[in-house]
A and B are shown apart, each in its own frame.
Chain A
């Protein structure tokens, strides 16, 4: 047990001023919609604001605005588009604290994460793609790559603003205009971003934000005047989108689910590996598509490693997302909490052994204690299905070949981790893993220059880096 307890260190929420309600951002203006829905703070279930629910006719208006804006935006010299994106990046840096607090309020993620990971990456992403806008002919995609037109983009709730940045920055840099639908449970940072666009004097219609639920998203991706669809979310919805896009000629990129193996070999530095395992699965409450949710540990070190892991988990602080000492915040929604609870229950039912550190959870809000399951086999649902929560399934292996076989034994292929001190083994295993991102002796690292995306049923296309441009150019 720690010698000293942590005193509360709450970040002030006064930096965010929330309006009671928000409209849709279409053609540079906030406009009302007929329906509304409420977005809550998952840490205390208090309503944060009321948000417009976009109906089909609202999406039509947004797509039409994007279409009108496309002509002049795509004709703008790349160097001018670049300057708009640089402006946006700068404004985001200036307003980073405000956005970080807002993101933690609406999403439930710890402030130290939204402050130190999400927001810096968001600004960096706009800076990175800003620089590409006038250099597209050097991207290796032909002498005169052309934008596609109107991009319909649908993003998830786990990294609301970061996913927005991943979608909007490359789309705008390449001369496309966008209609973006944020997730139903986390619409606020996208609406605040709309204000950033206004501050940057971005021409009306270049970015449109339509809030709503699944139906709004479906209507957007199926809209006949959308030329490009980009989606990040579940594999199941990804399949539906791929089906609906079939035959339309729309360009499609999908960043879907994962069930990443985090492989720890017997020569791995144990303390570093434990930090990596914790970061891999408990970062962002495990609401990470590339989370290291399957720990594959070499049998010979399984018991000391698990002991060290449990010791480390006992020091994780779960609670108020706005407390600067919090490691694990709130689960984003009741629905997600129910899903995690159900799958964890299945884990116990199917015979795996469940363990969580003693940990006091707040009375209100949605919470799930960090949990590991040992004695998991490949047949268990908790080893096959994406839980998208702070739940780790532990399996063992004896040889590198067995580790690779087990790691690849999934329809997913988004990410993987390797922990070993032996360089040749890391490189050989990295070669054989069927995953789009492989972290060796590290985990959950992201960078705008580094392409991200999956193999197999984790989707197709890459976001980030030069490769990320390809999704938005013809």
Chain B
């Protein structure tokens, strides 16, 4: 919580609410919980469902935007995050981590119009056919995010750069909602990223079993029993599941795996002939 520097003036405190469909609503449940002295919205099952509706509504247009455009928006996020370094530092995030988070957005921004060439290509089939494989976003992704700012950015950016939309369950609410404020001022269309603060064990099962969620990223789930339970629930609609890996160092080169895990390969055939 940023403290006022002058004693004569009473600080204007920030209310930490959810981030859904580009707006900052309270939890429909009316619940809050106390985190480091702040009352933070405690998201409910209904909030999770509302967020999925928002993510689904935003998905076709976001995926339909040009890769160039999505790259520009991601770069804009980096600019806005850079400008708000101080806010994150006030929340106790190390300056080097904020730098790394900014750089991560820049890195992924550049991938927007390159990943299709890496992940797709022409297939030399044995016949007179044009045959091409190209990646497409898998759709709406439920993300149980790691606690750190860099971890949070490292799971959101690879999902959205390719045209997915996400519902993020964040375990570090102040940093996550401050990041949501960055997103809200970066030309990211409402609904592309939705952030729920609260208890993963309470909200995540509803995302895992939700019929309109295509993939589930469990990167931030530390409890292996919960991870197994969520993976099992996800099997009901055959969601793609990104399993948690213990001891991930988010400062390392993330590679392309985080993006390709949330992509579908579409192959199109057409005959050739005069």
Chain B contacts of A449 at CB under 8 A?
123-126, 131
From A241, which residue of chain B is reached at the shortest CB distance?
B235
Interface residues of A in 436-464 (CB under 8 A from B): 436-442, 445, 447, 449-453, 455-457, 459-460, 462
Q: Are A447 and B125 in contact (CB under 8 A)?
A: yes
Chain B contacts of A467 at CB under 8 A?
133, 265
From A120, which residue of chain B is reached at the shortest CB distance?
B126
Closest chain A CB from B68 CB (angstroms) = 17
Among A30-38, A98-106, A242-250, A329-337, the one that faces the other chain is A242-250
Contact residue among B118, B123, B270 (Cβ-Cβ distance under 8 Å from A451) = B123
Chain B contacts of A243 at CB under 8 A?
232, 235-236
Chain B contacts of A124 at CB under 8 A?
126
A460 to B238, CA, bound (A): 8
The 8 A CB mask of B103-129 against A (1 = contact, 0 = none) is 000000000000000100101111101
Q: Are A442 and B270 in contact (CB under 8 A)?
A: yes
Chain A contacts of B232 at CB under 8 A?
243, 246-247
* B214 part of interface (Cβ distance < 8 Å): yes
A9 to B229, CA, bound (A): 57
Closest chain A CB from B134 CB (angstroms) = 9
Take A438-B266, A457-B237 as given contacts and tell me if A246 and B231 are in contact as well, using a CB distance cutoff of 8 Å. Answer: yes
Q: Are A452 and B270 in contact (CB under 8 A)?
A: no
A442 to B124, CA, bound (A): 17
The 8 A CB mask of B224-246 against A (1 = contact, 0 = none) is 10011101101111101101000
* B33 part of interface (Cβ distance < 8 Å): no
Contact residue among A239, A254, A442, A447 (Cβ-Cβ distance under 8 Å from B271) = A442
Q: Is the interface of B mostly helix, strand, loop or mixed?
A: mixed
Q: Are A247 and B228 in contact (CB under 8 A)?
A: yes
Take A449-B124, A450-B125 as given contacts and tell me if A246 and B267 are in contact as well, using a CB distance cutoff of 8 Å. Answer: no
Q: Are A440 and B238 in contact (CB under 8 A)?
A: no
Chain B contacts of A246 at CB under 8 A?
228-229, 231-232, 234-235, 241
The 8 A CB mask of A121-132 against B (1 = contact, 0 = none) is 000100000000
The 8 A CB mask of A40-54 against B (1 = contact, 0 = none) is 000000000000000
Q: Are A460 and B227 in contact (CB under 8 A)?
A: no
Q: Are B127 and A456 in contact (CB under 8 A)?
A: no
- Residue in B126, B240, B265, B271 with the greatest tally of chain A CB atoms within 10 Å: B265
* B268 part of interface (Cβ distance < 8 Å): yes
Chain A contacts of B214 at CB under 8 A?
456
Taking residues whose C-beta sits less than 8 angstroms from the other chain, chain A's interface range is: 35 or more
Chain A contacts of B123 at CB under 8 A?
447, 449-451, 465
Q: Are A445 and B127 in contact (CB under 8 A)?
A: yes
From A438, which residue of chain B is reached at the shortest CB distance?
B268
Chain B contacts of A249 at CB under 8 A?
243
* B264 part of interface (Cβ distance < 8 Å): yes
The 8 A CB mask of B205-230 against A (1 = contact, 0 = none) is 00000000010000000001001110
Beyond A436-B267, A438-B267, A450-B123, 13 additional pairs, beta carbon < 8 A: A124-B126, A243-B236, A435-B266, A442-B271, A447-B126, A449-B125, A449-B126, A451-B123, A455-B138, A455-B266, A459-B238, A465-B133, A466-B121
- Taking beta carbons and an 8 Å cutoff, which residues of B are in contact with A? 118, 121, 123-127, 129, 131, 133, 138, 214, 224, 227-229, 231-232, 234-238, 240-241, 243, 255, 264-271
21 contacts between A and B (CB under 8 A): A238-B238, A239-B236, A243-B236, A246-B232, A411-B237, A426-B270, A436-B267, A438-B267, A439-B268, A439-B269, A442-B269, A445-B125, A445-B127, A445-B269, A447-B125, A447-B131, A451-B267, A453-B265, A457-B238, A460-B238, A466-B121
- Taking beta carbons and an 8 Å cutoff, which residues of A are in contact with B? 124, 140, 142, 235, 238-240, 242-243, 246-247, 249, 254, 256, 411, 426, 430, 433, 435-442, 445, 447, 449-453, 455-457, 459-460, 462, 465-467
Question: Top 8 closest A-B pairs, CB basis?
Answer: A247-B228, A242-B235, A246-B231, A447-B125, A246-B232, A243-B235, A449-B123, A440-B270
